[in-house]
Structure 1
Amino acid sequence: MNPGGGPAREHSRAWGRSRDLGLGLRFAFSGGREGWIRAVLTAVGVGLGVAVLLLTTAVPNALAVRHEREQARTDYSWTEASPAKADDTVVVGHVDTTFRDQDVRGRLVEPEGPRAPLPPGVDAYPAKGEMVVSPALKKLLAADGSALLRERLPYRIVGTIGEDGLIGSRELAYYAGAAGLAAHVDSGGVARLTKFGDPNPTTEETDPVLLLLILVVIVVLLMPVAVFIAAAVRFGGERRDRRLAALRLIGSDGRMTRRIAAGEALAGALLGLVLGTVFFLIGREVAGSVEVMGMSVWPSYLNPSPLLAALVALAVPTAAVLVTLFALRGVIIEPLGVVRAAKPSRRRLWWRLLLPLAGLAMLYPMMGQGHANGEFNEYLVVGGVLLLLVGVTALLPWLVEKVVGRLGPGGISWQLAVRRLQLSSGTAARMVNGIAVAVAGAIALQMLFAGVESEYTKSTGQDVNLAQMQVSVPSGASVAATAQKFADTRGVRKVTALWEEYLGDASWKSENGPELSTELTVGDCAALREVAKLPSCKDGDLFVLDGGEYTADGPKLNKPGKKLYAEGPYSASGKSVEAVWTVPEGVIPAHSIDDMTGQRRGGFLMTPSALPKEIESLLSGELYLALDESVPDAYDHARNTAARVDPLAEPMNWAPTRQDTKFASIRTGLLVGSACVLLLIGASLLVSQLEQLRERKKLLSSLVAFGTRRRTLSLSVLWQTAIPIALGLLLAMAVGLTLGAILLKMADAAVGVDWSSVLAMTGCAAAVVLLVTLLSLPPLLRLMRPEGLRTE
């Protein structure tokens, strides 16, 4: 007895399996023109999916690099008191602005010594009147129609900011040289630094609901990609089966035949990896030149994690082999043909329902968790959502088979389409699976976003019907002259000017400071009526308010002869200026009302003539601008005036609500990812449609040769696409609404359906399919020529 016989047999079997896979690889590339077309179609389908997967695996690195570079250029003072002037300090002023809805990051810089730290991406500080800019801003300033921005940035360009100083290729940013910034240190966004960057970066805890959103977004965006890759490796199924029958005829057994088929699929997957890498490199370069939803990246950011890239490289070929073997599990390959032309066995429903039910079981324990009960279990969330979406791909073939089996007679094009679907309902379902999964996931996410949006969107209280922009004016500026400059600005309909200061019952320089304090607001009668209900008003009047939200001590301080102290801003020497005002006789009581910012003021109101000269220089002003939005660039005209009044001014656009930045970022990421998946859906459907038409070339040519009109065949192809798509979208709506309701329950939010959004997403998916069908018509017409009957 040979003791080495067992291992030898195992080695022989392993060698035989490897040989069969290798034979399949050879068949894929040595089958002539047909073989190459089949392999290329499979590779293109797989390659598109691989490119999206690689881009997706690169996103975490891109976000991390963006965050690191944002942290590295941080230019705030992180200590309670700014450092003293030295040869290694620089003064930085924030002058961010906006030009036609594009944000521009601006900094005024004044180095105070030869060892002043340089911000990332800058080789040398610009002199006064000069600036270094990002490449995108340089291009924008040189463009026609940017005269208003050039007027706002009247500096000479002497260099560009390097890549390590920008968070994206399309970011608009500049550093401009300035003088006299030291007088504004510690006030209004001006700081003295010894180095750039956040010395104590902190990691915030992720909101449980935001974590849920992130997990669901990842699953929903990647699931359609996996479905498309699985469908792509099954291209050319009918021709493959005929080749496998020929292999059986020359002596291969069933297992060997299946391994050869797996080898062919493996060849397409490997070629798809190569094409996917090429597509990814092209996509990475394209991504560096575009901006989506205000976000851009440098190509170097999009480097996938080596571990994740290796996982994709292993998973795709493995999936190709497994999917092929799974597809052939119920196929009997005989020497004279494939027993698939006979009536297929009836699809079972029970095991298909197990998948979504298992998904529901995984999600059920987290119902009602929301914000209050800790983080969601990532594995249960991913597994539950994944099983529900996979359930779509399992249920759709059964649904298509059931429905098309009951369809009645109709026109010739209808009959041709229905009969084709009855013979190959599985193929039709595979084409639709990806888009059905994408729509189901999109509906669920839309419901989740809409349901929790109110938690991350807060009212600002700003009345945009009264004003659309707010501008802060520095202390000491003339009240009337500054307001008049804005009133004379093109596009400004009305200026409401309110100057403000705080008053205390004791000196602000004393050891304990004032015991009572209140506000002082100065403006003309029209402006004061925006903050209070006045019995009457004329220039020279003085009022005291009741009903203030934060400073309700005005009536307590309204005593004739009472001395009140107004504190001005700190000077460059670190000392503050103070003025004393004595409360006169005849102060008129008035009732506070909600002002334009939604708050109620307290304290004293003064008209300009009642304002003592010694206090006027201490006031800081707020201008509320009502703009005529029919005037082109009205906002930019106002911003230019603000820049002339005070180079450090940062005009603020008003909005009725403000949204949490993390929530908005996740939504932006979803929109960007959805756009990529939508492109993948369209491209993959087109490739799949062309492959289906190629397989039917002889059939179509035969029907035309027997007198069938081309219009009839074109309509039949349209019906073959429309029927499965309609069924897939109906199933997707049902699963998407169910999943959305469950996710809302998990987030402890009210369940609601925005039907307009649901129908809009469903319509977008249908539009993509219609576009793909229209693009496939020219190849269809070419395939109907008599030359299609030629064979070898």
Structure 2
Amino acid sequence: MRVRQWSRDLAMGAGFAFTSGREGWVRVLLTAVGVGLGVAGLLLTTAIPNALAVRHERANARTYVMYSQERIPKADNTVLVANVDTAYRGRDVRGRALEAEGTRAPLPPGLKEFPAADEMVVSPALKKLLASDDGKLLRKRLPQHIGGTIGESGLIGSAELAFYRGGEGLAKIGGSNVTRIDEFGLPNQSEPLDPVLLLLVLVVFVVLLMPVGVFIAAAVRFGGERRDRRLAALRLIGSDTRMTRRIAAGEALGSSLLGLALGTVLFLIGRQVVGSVEVYRISVFPGYLDPTPALAALIAVAVPAAAVGVTLFALRGVVIEPLGVVRTARPPRRRLWWRLLLPLGGLAMLYPMIGMGTDNGDFNQYLVIGGVILLLVGVTALLPWIVETVVARLSSGGVAWQLAVRRLQLGSGTAARMVNGIAVAVAGAIALQMLFSGVQGNYTKESQNDLSRARIQVSVPNSVPLGTASAKFTATKGVEQVQTFSEGYLGDRRKEPDLVTQVTIGDCAFLREVASLPSCHNGDVFAMRGGEYDIDTPKPAEPGRTLYFDPSYGSKKGEAVAWSVPRGMKEAQSVKDPSGMTRGGFLMTPSALPAQAVPALSGRMYLKLDESVPDVREFVRNTAVKIDPLADTLMWTAPEQNRRFSSIRTGLFVGATCVLILIGASLLVSQLEQLRERKKLLSALVAFGTRRRTLSLSVLWQTAIPVALGLALATVVGLALGTTLMKMTDVPVTVDWTSVLSMTVIGAAVILLVTALSLPPLWRMMRPEGLRTE
């Protein structure tokens, strides 16, 4: 019986939402838009894990195991693959050269046939770039003929730059850059995240989802005052208080269901839009963004349930009588004690995990999620009390100030609800920024490269004479200096040596870059001391010992070249070379090297650049490809971060960008709804002679005061949460005040932008015609 009563009242309320005239429709649409934006944000956010998983699967499907060519014999079902990756103006370009060795050679995903030796198959994004004026320099280093495009199954994103080019004679080139395979694809296995990275993922999702949930809860309360006045008519015709509240909940339910449908449509539209853009170098195809059925079902149930629950909660202090709504009397003061329990409870849930770090197992996921949620919900609970307490003590000022303060004193709850979402977002962003800053040192590999001595390292195949390559790089625009050398390995036996030592060959000028030499002349040989791996270097007291150049680097397999340690060999103290490495083994000048050993060496060059020359790196890459398509150019850069850590951080930036856009849109809808409710009041003030400038300033003050208080509270809660998370990960607690200030400024900027966009509708409402009524 009770369930039937609830169902009937809720259905009646939902019917009123759509049949109460123009006024009701406006409220329904505003609520539906607010809820719809939130639902779209929830669906997009919950689709991110699936998108990342699909990207990972696609990447695995086109990857292959790197073996030497001898590991798999040539057959009708094998293909030679060479890595020809490049980069263009800071963007990575994935490239592979393919040479089929039989009719059953495996094709990589996304290809229908192998490209010919003088053509390539490209991704749609790369094809578009090459056809534009911006891609002229890149066009010069790739085959001129484009034979087709890579299908979606062979790409990890819609904006990925990738190509497959035809190869020829790859078996003769050899080396670690060329491999023979009989299938593409790796097992879809991944190592579990370490505890700190798992903690980051959990906190990121809570922080991204919480502001959206707060906005949905605020959206279902749009137009609450006018709705309550309409409900008084129901009391007049015999409805009791409980039935009236259930009918009001039914109105919110109807609006939320419409918002759920609108949010689904916005999500489908947004999914298509996301598929055509690239954010922080991450792109996906629309099909990747599919929320898991369980999460989608949870959203479909939770949003209408939350609408009903929030409405009933909001009406607990409202007395709806047959002759009106008792809301104009001074409301009771908000109590503080229960509001403090929320953040304190959150800290209590996180406290047992302080000091765990990465060595004491995984963090308890339920405690982490619950603790972070309670702390952020504490912002929404404390902010109304803070706004009410502060505005109650504000008094004198100009007319605009007094109008704003008086409005806030009469009802500060609406203003606080509008700011709640941005305050939660800022608090979470500050905490995450602190956590990322604290742990990034554990996931950052410091660069040892000396950028003052060189910027690029180039490796050329054995078939290319170093002198020729050096001359071409020297003539390249923007290259200031070229240091050329070769390196290889010496073993104590012809085959399967027990001891292997490094050997570096270069002129005296280069050798002085890697060692402190007593003197140097062409023909000298030096034994290195102090290198990173010099334990196998023969001592000078062992002259005549026979060593063998490692034949695996030569063009004639199995023919090791013998070399005897010379008498009177000098010692040299190793120093850091431009790459930051301290070399061991032997140093040789060119005339001391047996001619037969040249094929067993790999050519290297260090290039120093004039950074003032535009696109100097692109000129170097183009020269390298002209020398040999398989020449490897390594750009030395700043410290390198762990890939998983970088992926999580990038995901946060992408998600935060989407959430900020949704926050701005939801805030604008909320602001317009507040202005609509005060339309007659504003028109009356204008009719009595109040200047529009004064009213505009009053609206700005009504926004600025709660925003300032909300951002101050968000900063305090964010610092508390960030400090707790840093203590949990066992890293020193430090505060990057620049980042804290930037997060606060971004939050304030969103509010100010929304307020500025709401001014034109405000000016249209401030007309005496607004006093008309039906």
Structure-2-length-normalised TM-score: 0.97
How far apart are residue 586 of structure 1 and its match?
Answer: 4.6
**Structure 1 partner of 2:508:** 525
Q: Deviations over 1:23-79 (max 9, x none)?
A: 211221122221111111100000000001111121122111111111111122469
SS of aligned partner of 1:495 = strand
Match runs of 1:189-338 below 5 Å: 189-198=177-186, 200-338=187-325
Q: CA deviation at 1:246?
A: 2.3
Report the residue type matching 1:126 in the other structure.
Answer: P
Partner residue of 1:707 out of 689, 697, 701? 689
Residue-by-residue CA offset, 1:645-668 (whole Å, 9 max, x unaligned)? 222223111123111000000000
2:45 is the alignment partner of 1:56? yes
Match status 1:438 vs 2:422: no
Counterpart amino acid of residue 736 in structure 2: D
Report what 1:5 is aligned to.
Answer: none
1:638 CA drift (Å) = 0.8
Equivalent-residue separation in structure 2 for 1:268 and 1:557 (angstroms): 88
Which residue in 2 is equivalent to 1:177? 166
Question: Pairwise mapping of residues 58-207 of structure 1 onto structure 2 (< 5 A)?
Answer: 58-77=47-66, 82-185=71-174, 187-198=175-186, 200-207=187-194
RMSD: 1.7
Aligned: 1:364 with 2:351: yes
Q: Which residue of the partner structure matches residue 497 of structure 2?
A: 513
Distance 1:14 1:378 in 2: 36
Q: Distance in 2 between matches of 1:616 and 1:468?
A: 26
1:7 alignment counterpart: none
Is the contact between residue 531 and residue 582 of structure 2 (CA under 8 Å) also seen in structure 1?
A: yes
Instruction: State the Cα distance separating 1:534 from its structure 2 match.
Output: 2.2
Q: What does residue 6 of structure 1 align with?
A: none
> How far 1:336 sits from its partner (Å)?
2.0
Give the CA deviation at 1:704: 0.6
Q: Which residue of 2 aligns with 1:563?
A: 546
3-state SS of the aligned residue for 2:743?
A: helix
Could you list the per-position Cα deviations for residues 126-150 of structure 1 after superposition, in whole angstroms to 9, with x for gaps in the alignment? 1111111111111111111322211
Q: Which whole-Å deviations, capped at 9, do the CAs of 1:110-169 have from their partners, x for residues lacking one?
A: 111111111111111111111111111111111113222111102411111111111111
- Taking the TM superposition and a 5 Å limit, the aligned residue runs for 1:600-749 are 600-749=582-731
Measure, in 2, the Cα distance between the counterparts of 1:647 and 1:76. Answer: 22
How far 1:582 moved relative to its partner?
Answer: 3.0
**Contact 2:555–2:600, Cα closer than 8 Å, also in 1:** no
Code of the residue aligned with 1:522 in structure 2: it is I
Unaligned stretches of 5+ residues in structure 2:
none
Show CA shifts across 1:668-704 (max 9, x none): 0000000011001111111100000000000001001
Shift of 1:306: 1.5
1:294, CA displacement in angstroms?
1.2
TM-superposed CA distance for 1:589, in Å, is 2.6
- Which of 16, 34, 38 is residue 45 of structure 1 equivalent to? 34
Q: Partners of 1:114 and 1:294 in 2: how far apart?
A: 38
Matched, 1:471 2:455: no
Contact 2:450/2:579 (<8 A) preserved: yes
Separation in structure 1 between the aligned mates of residue 664 and residue 378 of structure 2, nearest angstrom: 22
Aligned residue for 2:559, secondary structure, equals strand
- Preserved CA contact (<8 Å) 1:469 1:654: yes
Distance (Å, rounded) in 1 between the aligned partners of 2:341 and 2:745:
30
Give deviations 1:694-744, integer Å, cap 9, x for gaps. Answer: 000000010011111100000000000000000000000000000000000
Local SS of the residue matching 1:498: strand
Contact 1:546 1:555 in 2 (8 A): no
Alignment check: 8 A CA contact 2:76 2:105 kept: yes
Assess if the C-alpha contact under 8 Å between 1:558 and 1:583 holds in 2: no
What secondary structure, in the 3-state scheme, does the structure 2 residue paired with 1:577 have?
coil
Paired with 1:266 and 1:410, the residues of 2 have a C-alpha distance of 43
Task: Answer whether contact 1:482 1:645 (CA < 8 A) is retained.
Answer: yes
- Distance apart, 1:247 and its partner CA: 2.1
Q: Distance in 1 between matches of 2:519 and 2:262?
A: 78
Q: Percent identity?
A: 66
Distance 1:722 1:740 in 2: 26
* Partner Cα separation in structure 2 for residue 296 and residue 201 of structure 1: 21
Q: Is 1:35 matched up with 2:24? A: yes
Amino acid at match of 1:628: D
Shift of 1:760: 0.4
Alpha-carbon distance between aligned partners in 2 of 1:562 and 1:115, rounded to the nearest angstrom: 50
Instruction: Report the CA distance between 1:197 and its aligned residue.
Output: 0.7
Q: 1:380 to 1:236 in 2, by over 3 A?
A: same
Counterpart for residue 537 of structure 1: 520
Provide the C-alpha distance between the structure 2 equivalents of 1:112 and 1:476, rounded to a whole number of angstroms.
22
The answer on whether the counterparts of 2:540 and 2:570 sit within 8 Å (CA) in structure 1 is: no
Matches within 5 A, 1:567-578: 567-569=550-552, 575-578=557-560
Unpaired segments ≥5 residues, structure 1: 1-9
Change (3 A) 1:401 1:548: same
Q: Structure 1 CA distance, aligned partners of 2:641 and 2:520?
A: 39
Q: Which residue identity is paired with 2:214?
A: V
Q: Distance in 2 between matches of 1:65 and 1:651?
A: 30
* 2:589 partner letter: T
The farther-off stretch of 537-546 and 168-177 is 537-546
| SS of the residue 2:331 aligns to | coil
TM-score, scaled relative to structure 1: 0.95
Q: Is the 8 A contact 1:460 1:658 kept in 2?
A: yes
Q: CA deviation at 1:108?
A: 0.5
For the 8 Å contact 1:476–1:619, the answer to whether it is kept is no
Residue 534 (structure 2) pairs with residue 551 (structure 1)? yes
| Residue pair 2:9, 2:243 contacting (<8 A) in 1 also | yes
- Alignment check: 8 A CA contact 1:134 1:162 kept: yes
In structure 1, the residue matched to 2:773 is: 791
Please say if residues 82 and 193 of structure 1, whose CA atoms lie closer than 8 Å, have aligned partners that are also in contact. Answer: no
Distance 2:394 2:69 in 1: 77
Which string of whole-angstrom CA distances, capped at 9 and with x for unpartnered residues, describes residues 579-610 of structure 1?
22233345333221112222211222223343
Q: CA deviation at 1:538?
A: 4.2
CA-to-aligned-CA distance 1:622-641 (integer Å, 9 cap, x gap): 21111112111111111111
| Aligned residue identity for 2:611 | E
- 1:472-506 per-residue CA deviation (whole Å, 9 max, x = no partner) reads 122253232222221111111111222112123x3
- Which residue matches 1:3? none
Q: Give the whole-Å Cα distance in 1 for the aligned partners of 2:470 and 2:63.
A: 34
Measure the CA separation in 2 of the matches of 1:613 and 1:534: 24
Deviates more, 1:77-86 or 1:696-705: 77-86
Against the structure 1 CA distance between its residues 581 and 244, is the aligned structure 2 distance closer, same or farther, given a 3 Å change threshold? same
Which stretch of structure 1 is more off in the superposition, 526-535 or 310-319?
Answer: 526-535
Q: Identify which range, 598-607 or 205-214, moves more after superposition.
A: 598-607
Q: CA deviation at 1:762?
A: 0.2
What's the offset of the Cα at 1:175?
A: 1.1
SS of the counterpart of 1:702? helix
Alignment of 1:769-784 (within 5 A): 769-784=751-766
For 1:539-573, what per-residue CA distance to the aligned partner results, in whole angstroms no more than 9, with x for missing partners? 44433322112024445156444433212335678
Deviation larger for 475-484 or 255-264: 475-484
Distance (whole Å) between structure 1 residues aligned to residue 545 and residue 70 of structure 2: 34
Do the aligned partners of 1:468 and 1:624 also contact (CA within 8 Å) in 2? yes
Could you tell me how far apart the structure 2 residues matched to 1:584 and 1:81 are? Answer: 35
Q: Indicate the larger mover: 575-584 or 684-693.
A: 575-584
What SS does structure 1 have at the residue aligned with 2:477? coil
For 1:349, the equivalent position in structure 2 comes to 336
- Residue in structure 1 matched with residue 490 of structure 2 by the alignment: 503
Change beyond 3 A, Cα 1:571–1:155: farther
